[in-house]
Structure 1
Amino acid sequence: MARAVPAVERAFDVLELFLDVPELSAPEITAKLGLPRTTVHELVGTLAERGYLTTSGGNRFRLGVRSFQLGAVYAERLDLAREGQAVAEEIAERCQETVHVGVREGAGVLYVAKVDSSHPVRMVSAVGRLLPAHCTAIGKVLLAALPRAEFDEVYPEPELPAMTAGSITSRAALLDELAAIAGGGVAREHCESNDAVACVAAPVRDHSGAVVAAMSISAPILRWNDEVEQALRELVAEGAQRLSERLGSAPAA
């Protein structure tokens, strides 16, 4: 890796302070970074001149329009399907099971990325396929993030259609499960969309922290047990967090 340039590093240190607070004065920046006062004045002066910082009155600074423009260009060039496919490939390589990334479409889940299991026995699914959200782990994660008013619009009726004998068929039961998912972060599906498949899923967030997608790992029940499920729950949470970070979400604490 090329040698880091100290002046550039200090400039980024200044800018990154504004990820946590909207405004700072030059003395506050000096105190937070432990840099000489003259150095800070030179840094904020240069950044302000280039439009990366702007003054907000009273000798206080905030991020300028140039910072916004760079962030907007980055956001525009992000592609959930492309980024999801890349992370799904990494996760599938580690677990050798099928990995999906999906988004909600009304009361359904649309798969936007998929990597097949390397095992000869695998689930049959396809990118672009729409499944009932309440029957899938991905769908449950996405539904758990909905405000109650929006959930009621999606599911106005008390009864829900089933895909298998294991599917949730009542709105009340679905709400109970979604409450548990909202608290724990990972959803589980066992033979609810396919009689022979179990699945776990975790939320994917964008730069604002909103849940915009979910990642799942699925496996035939002949390879499923409590130990496998726990390992896959941890792995899918890791994969979803990695994809979230690629979409601009803050790194996990």
Structure 2
Amino acid sequence: MGRLVPAVTRAFDILELFLQGDGTLSAPEITRRLGLPRTTTHELVSTLAARHYLVAVPERPGRYRLGVRTYQLGSRYAERLDLAAEGREVARGTAAACGETVRVALLEDAHVIHVATVDSTHAVRMVAAAGRRLPAHCTAAGKMLLAGLPADERDGLLGELLDGLPGELADGRRLIGMTPWSVTDPDALRAALDGIAALGVAVERRESHPDVCCVAAPVRDRSGRVVAALSVSVPVIRWDEAREGELTALAVRGAGELSARLGHRGPVR
């Protein structure tokens, strides 16, 4: 573990005090309970209030309560917890139907992170670790998630990838690939994402692993926004056109079930 920053630790100590009692505190009470200098308390409380982590209580002058930013953080955490829990259940059902590895992934910057995974029952199988991050443009789930973004936001993420490349790669404007089959040309990727957005399904053929193919469908929340992708991965030795069609149908069905659990009404594609 790295060195803890005292000011940040004190700020969290202040926030955690509001979990007690009636949820309101004054600066003198914070000073007394934490043993902080009055000036330090005033500066920390003022900073937290300016960032909307604390808010003054109008009817009780001098007292504070937790602000909207803490609610937003908690809501986002709960949203991901719910998605992970519901995703695991749906992934189990989808995996039982096809015997292959099923994952639920979220977009984190320009990467995908798997929050739920159920491994295949076959001896030769794709084993996926929950929490692993992969470049989004190299995976079916990642391409599905990128395709679900507004065009300007999507281009911004691709721009960040290009800007972060070493000089010789940045000059060629090529994205880093994971295999020889990865799509590394930005224009080709944009065209592929447009097609995925229109079709509502993403297919990956040996782009993140030379021995694995994958299909993914979008998971939508109650507003219709794409918030995750459900994917089915299979070794290339069990992949053909017929199998691709079967797994696509299962991925769409699983993504539809998970979307319904999140409050979405209507088709996911």
Aligned equivalents of 1:215, 1:155: Cα separation in 2 = 22
Selected match of 1:154 from 157, 175, 187: 157
Selected match of 2:144 from 126, 135, 141: 141
Partner residue in 1 for 2:49: none
AA partner of residue 87 (structure 2): G
Aligned equivalents of 1:144, 1:96: Cα separation in 2 = 27
Aligned equivalents of 1:134, 1:213: Cα separation in 2 = 15
Aligned equivalents of 1:114, 1:179: Cα separation in 2 = 27
Aligned equivalents of 1:243, 1:168: Cα separation in 2 = 29
Give a deviation string over 1:141-161, Cα, whole Å, max 9, x none: 000011121112111133200
Which runs of no fewer than 5 residues in structure 2 stay unpaired?
1-74, 163-172
AA partner of residue 251 (structure 2): V
TM-aligned CA deviation for residue 251 of structure 1:
4.0
Partner residue in 1 for 2:209: 194
Aligned equivalents of 2:87, 2:127: Cα separation in 1 = 19
Selected match of 1:105 from 103, 108, 111: 108
What secondary structure does 2:93 align onto? Answer: helix
TM-aligned CA deviation for residue 126 of structure 1:
0.4
Partner residue in 2 for 1:249: 264
Partner residue in 2 for 1:224: 239
Change beyond 3 A, Cα 1:81–1:195: same
Selected match of 1:214 from 208, 214, 229: 229
TM-aligned CA deviation for residue 110 of structure 1:
0.1
Q: How does 1:155-170 map to 2 (within 5 A)?
A: 155-156=158-159, 157=162, 158-170=173-185
Aligned equivalents of 2:181, 2:111: Cα separation in 1 = 18
Aligned equivalents of 1:151, 1:186: Cα separation in 2 = 17
TM-aligned CA deviation for residue 81 of structure 1:
0.3
Q: CA RMSD in A?
A: 1.7
Aligned equivalents of 1:84, 1:179: Cα separation in 2 = 26
**TM value normalised by structure 2:** 0.65
Note if contact 2:101-2:128 (Cα within 8 Å) is conserved in structure 1.
no
Q: Count the aligned residue pairs.
A: 180
Aligned equivalents of 1:146, 1:246: Cα separation in 2 = 21
Which runs of no fewer than 5 residues in structure 1 stay unpaired?
1-72
Selected match of 1:114 from 109, 113, 117: 117
AA partner of residue 219 (structure 1): V
AA partner of residue 236 (structure 2): I
AA partner of residue 152 (structure 2): A
Aligned equivalents of 1:167, 1:196: Cα separation in 2 = 13
Whether 2:103 is the aligned partner of 1:88: answer no
Identical counterparts, % of pairs = 51
Aligned equivalents of 1:178, 1:87: Cα separation in 2 = 26
What secondary structure does 2:105 align onto? Answer: strand
Aligned equivalents of 1:132, 1:252: Cα separation in 2 = 27
Aligned equivalents of 1:252, 1:205: Cα separation in 2 = 9
Give a deviation string over 1:98-126, Cα, whole Å, max 9, x none: 00000001110000000000000011320
AA partner of residue 104 (structure 1): L
Aligned equivalents of 2:151, 2:193: Cα separation in 1 = 11
AA partner of residue 119 (structure 2): D
Note if contact 2:113-2:134 (Cα within 8 Å) is conserved in structure 1.
yes
AA partner of residue 106 (structure 2): V
Aligned equivalents of 1:240, 1:81: Cα separation in 2 = 13
What secondary structure does 1:79 align onto? Answer: helix
AA partner of residue 146 (structure 1): L
